Amino acid sequence: MKSLHLIASASMLALPSFALADGELGDIWVYASGGNLVTGAWDHDTGDVTSLDRRVFSAEFGEDPAFPFSTDEPGIGSDLVGTTLTMNMLQGLGIWNGSGFSSSSDVLQAAFGGQEVSSSAGGGFSFLVTQGLDLHAEFTLAGLRGADPANGIYLAAFNFAASGLATSQTMWVVYNLGMDEEAHEEAIEWVEANLVPAPGALTLLGLAGLTGRRRR
């Protein structure tokens, strides 16, 4: 099973910080180009595709007070009508430490249509793309041994797969649980600058190889 990856050295990259628009990065748009699955962004309120090349997304836990550790964002849209897509969650979960992400012992779970996967083992859930698809799976953060998860900013990695098309490049979702938006945006900008590979910057390390202790 593939794992959540972090770039070995931030100094290898020279990407600008990601420009945020009111803190929103949009929902995930999945399409095909040159035989490959590609992720962009779209606005499900207007139906507009806002980017054809986006690999970093954001979400807030607890927007529904009844479910403080869950979110159904980001949503997923696609124009690949009739195609069965699989959204794979890569193994591993990171937590923001102020200057990067350390390994977290908490677990992110995803559920859709009776299918369940988690960041502890990885795995994927599948769905058929229909006209006007606006899919919202449920993502839930769980603490160790059933405890409530700690407030923090969490990082999970995903990709999309489909028969007859090459699997998409890794994309990331930066989840916020109880932290201020300034810290959330700082973490998003770090991911955009350090994890989205620039040409020639393809050396990756597993999350477990990073130093640094989890903060609570």
Q: What angle do CA 31, 37, 38 make, to 5 degrees?
A: 65
Encode 57-81: b = buried (16+ Cβ within 10 Å), e = exposed. Answer: bbbebbeeeeeebbbebbbbbbebe
Range of the domain at 192: 22-196
13 belongs to a structural domain = no
45 belongs to a structural domain = yes
Segment 26-46, tens digit of pLDDT: 999 999 999 999 999 999 899
Backbone angles phi, psi at 193, to 5 degrees: -80, -25
Number of domains in the chain: 1
41 belongs to a structural domain = yes
Q: For the whole model, what pTM was predicted?
A: 0.82
Q: What is the 3-state secondary structure (H, E, C) of the chain?
A: CCECEEECCHHHCCCCCCCCECCECCEEEEEEECCEEEEEEEECCCCEEEECCCCEEEEECCCCCCCCCEECCCCEEECCCCCEEEEEECECCEEECCCCEEECCCEEEEEECCEEEECCCEEEEEEECCCCCCECCEEEEECHHHCCCCCEEEEEEEEEEECCEECCCCEEEEEEECCCHHHHHHHHHHHHHHCCCCCCCCCEEEHHHCCCCCCC
38 belongs to a structural domain = yes
Segment 118-132, tens digit of pLDDT: 999 999 999 999 999
* pLDDT confidence of residue 198: 58
73 belongs to a structural domain = yes
Segment 168-201, tens digit of pLDDT: 999 999 999 999 999 999 999 999 999 997 543 3
What's the rounded Cα separation, in Å, for the pair 139 and 154? Answer: 12
139 belongs to a structural domain = yes
202 belongs to a structural domain = no
Q: Does position 66 have pLDDT exceeding 60, yes or no?
A: yes
134 belongs to a structural domain = yes
